[in-house]
Amino acid sequence: MTKVIGLTGGIGSGKTTIANYFATMGVPVYIADDAAKKVMQSQNIIQQIKTTFGDSIFENEILNRAKLAEIVFNNADKLAQLNAIVHPAVKSDFESWLLENKKHDYVIYEAAILFESGRYKECDVIITVTAPEEVRIERVVKRDNTKREQVLSRMKMQWNDEKRISLSNFVINNSNLKIAKEEVVKILKILNIKQNQS
């Protein structure tokens, strides 16, 4: 049976870069954030978002993701409301994707809020990607062309590294990409040994 490796880390930790490296090593990767963007284009989800958050976050019937992000990342209750709409749809999408990839020993499920959403309970192995806070802030400011304060408010909505690490099987420090890639190779070797022993 295919084992699900949960891959997570705080905003700016570089977890997608690590997920993509796993993909180059032949492990199928599911990026939950990309899936969420996809399901948020379905009429059913759009209607639910409109009902919950109103018409002001839509422009010509197109969801303004920046406006929605501004609302939810400054209000934990609003974020929970959005997650309640999007998460079930992502879960269903992942289950279909998993069936398509069932011939593989492992797949990666990459999600920023793996723990916060409770999805970690459905993973066989959990990897947390870390990086120093200042490095993470710098990466996100550059990547999203955003302000430091906005990055910090998003960080506050997520678990901290200590909490994530306490529930993880492996930790990859992604301050240096070369070293982080070496960690990926080591983890895959360990997982393959365990797989062969079981």
Question: Alpha-carbon distance 157 to 124, whole Å?
Answer: 25
For 120, other C-beta atoms within 10 Å of its C-beta total 18
**Pairing state of beta strands 3-9 and 170-173?**
unpaired
Output the six-digit token pair for 157.
């909505």
List the binding residues for ATP. 12-17
Question: Alpha-carbon distance 153 to 195, whole Å?
Answer: 40
Q: Round to the nearest angstrom and report the end-to-end CA distance of the chain.
A: 11
List the binding residues. 12-17
Residues 161, 33 contacting (CB under 8 angstroms): no
Output the six-digit token pair for 184.
């990926």
